[in-house]
Amino acid sequence: MATHKLSRTFADLLSTAAIMLCALSLSSPASAQSAPGPVAQQPYVLTVFATSTSAYSQPDSIVQWRDRILIGFSNGVSKTGSDGKSSTIVEYSLSGKVKRTFSVPGHNDGLRVVGEDDLWCLQNEDANPNLAVIDLESGRQKNYTFAPTVHGGGYDDMRVKDGRVLMTASNPNLNGAGVNAFPALVIASLHGNMVDVEPVLSGDANAIDIPSGASVALNLMDPDSLTIDPRGNVVLDDQGDGMLIFIRHPFSDTPVVGRLSLTLLGGAATTVDDTAFASKANSFMLVADLGNPMAGDGGTVYRIDNPSFGFEPGTAYCASDTVGFVGTLNLDTGVITTIVTGLSSGRGVLFVVPDEEGDRHQEER
C-alpha cells in the first residue's frame, strides 16, 4: 500500500471502529477463554497455514499455482527499494509445507500467475518499480524495469483480464488542487527487458455511486489491490480512501465505473487491503496478517474454513489493514460484517479450491 496521511476525522472513525470490535471480542465467551490474537466467529474456524521465519517475514500477496500456494514476504524492505534489500517468495503445498523459495529485488507487494507457469512478482509500490518473472516449472527468473512513471509512484497489484495484465498505479503525485489526474490503472506488457504501460482509467474519472446512483468525480489517491468479481468486472481497491471501484468493459472507450464506499456494520468508515470472491462451497480461504515487527511479530498466514455451510459462491470477503479484520461485504451498500477480528494488519486474501489448478481461469475469462 502506498503511504498517505489520513484526516483526523477518518482516523477517529477508524479508532472508534477498533474500539467497537474490541468490545465485541471481550463480550464473547470464546474470546474470553482464548489467548490474545485473531478470533473467528462461528461457524468459521481459524487455523495457521504458514508462519514467518528468521529468513522471511511480513506476508502479503497470495496466489495459487496448480496444487501450490505462493506467498510474497516483503521482509521489511523499503517500498521504494532504496535500501537495496530483497523480498522472498515462498512456495507451499496445500497443507502449508515449504517447497521452494525465491528472492526478488525490492519490496514485493503484487503476485500473479500469468499464462500457465509464469509468476509475475511486482516490487516497490511507492517508487522505482521493478518486475521479476519466475518460470515456475524451471525456477528461472528474469528481471524487468519500468520507464520513469508518469504518476511519480510505483505499481502495486496485477490481474489478468482477457489475456491482458492490468496493474494499479500506486502512490500518485497530486496536482495543485489535490487531485490525482494521472492513470490509476494501466495495461502492462513486456518488451525486451522493459515493462511498457498504457493507461486504462484516470484517477479523476467519473463514476456512479453504487448505493445512490448519483454521478461522482473520483479522486483515487491510493490505488492498491485488484480483483475480478463474478460478473467479470475489474475491482480496484482505493485503499486509503476506503472505497472499491468497479469497472465494466475496462478496455472499451466507454467503460462503466462504479464507486462503493466501505463501512463497518454500525456505520464506521474503514479501509481494506484486499478483496476476494468465494469460488466454490468447498473452498477454503487464506489471509495474510502482516504482523507487528515492533512487537517481534513477523506475520502469519491463516486458513479460514466454514465446516458447517461452506462458502457461498460469489460472496465478497475483505481483509482490513487498519482495523485488522476479515469480513463479508454487501455489494449493494458497502457494509462489511466481520467474521474474524484481532489481526494485526490483514493483507492478501485468496480462496483455494483444492481440486483445481487455481484462480487463473476465473481471472482470465
**Which residue type does 338 have?**
T
Cell of 158: 496485477
The verdict on whether omega for the bond into residue 59 sits within 30 degrees of 0, i.e. cis, is no
Q: Where are the domains of the chain?
A: 8-363
Give the list of residues 6+ apart from residue 126 with CB closer than 8 angstroms, or none: 2, 3, 79, 80, 153, 154, 170, 171
Give one DSSP letter per residue of 257-311, joined into a string.
EEEEE-EETTS-B---SEEEE---TT-EEEEEE---GGGT---EEEEEE-TTT-P
Q: How far is CA 135 from the centre of its chain?
A: 23
How many residues can be counted in the chain? 365
Q: How many CB atoms lie within 10 A of CB 348?
A: 26
**Ordered per-residue pLDDT tens for the chain, 365 residues:** 444 433 333 334 334 444 343 443 433 333 334 446 899 999 999 999 999 999 999 999 999 999 999 999 999 999 999 999 999 999 999 999 999 999 999 999 999 999 999 999 999 999 999 999 999 999 999 999 999 999 999 999 999 999 999 999 999 999 999 999 999 999 999 999 999 999 999 999 999 999 999 999 999 999 999 999 999 999 999 999 999 999 999 999 999 999 999 999 999 999 999 999 999 999 999 999 999 888 889 999 999 999 999 999 999 999 999 999 999 999 999 999 999 999 999 999 999 988 654 444 433 33
Beta carbons of 189 and 211 less than 8 angstroms apart = no
Give the list of residues 6+ apart from residue 84 with CB closer than 8 angstroms, or none: none
Distance between CA atoms of residues 214 and 212, nearest Å: 5
Give the list of residues 6+ apart from residue 169 with CB closer than 8 angstroms, or none: 149, 151, 153, 154, 155, 156, 182, 183, 184, 185, 186, 197, 203, 223
Distance between CA atoms of residues 145 and 256, nearest Å: 32
Closest CA to 316 of 360, 287, 344, 276: 276
Closest CA to 316 of 227, 224, 225: 227
Strands (E), 18-80: 39-40, 45-51, 59-65, 68-73
The architecture in CATH of the region 8-363 reads 6 Propeller (2.120)
Distance between CA atoms of residues 258 and 130, nearest Å: 30
What contacts 24+ positions apart, CB below 8 Å, involve 146-151? Answer: 146/194, 146/195, 146/197, 147/194, 147/196, 150/182, 150/183, 151/180, 151/182, 151/183, 151/184, 151/203
Distance between CA atoms of residues 350 and 343, nearest Å: 16
With a threshold of 0.85, does the pTM exceed it?
yes
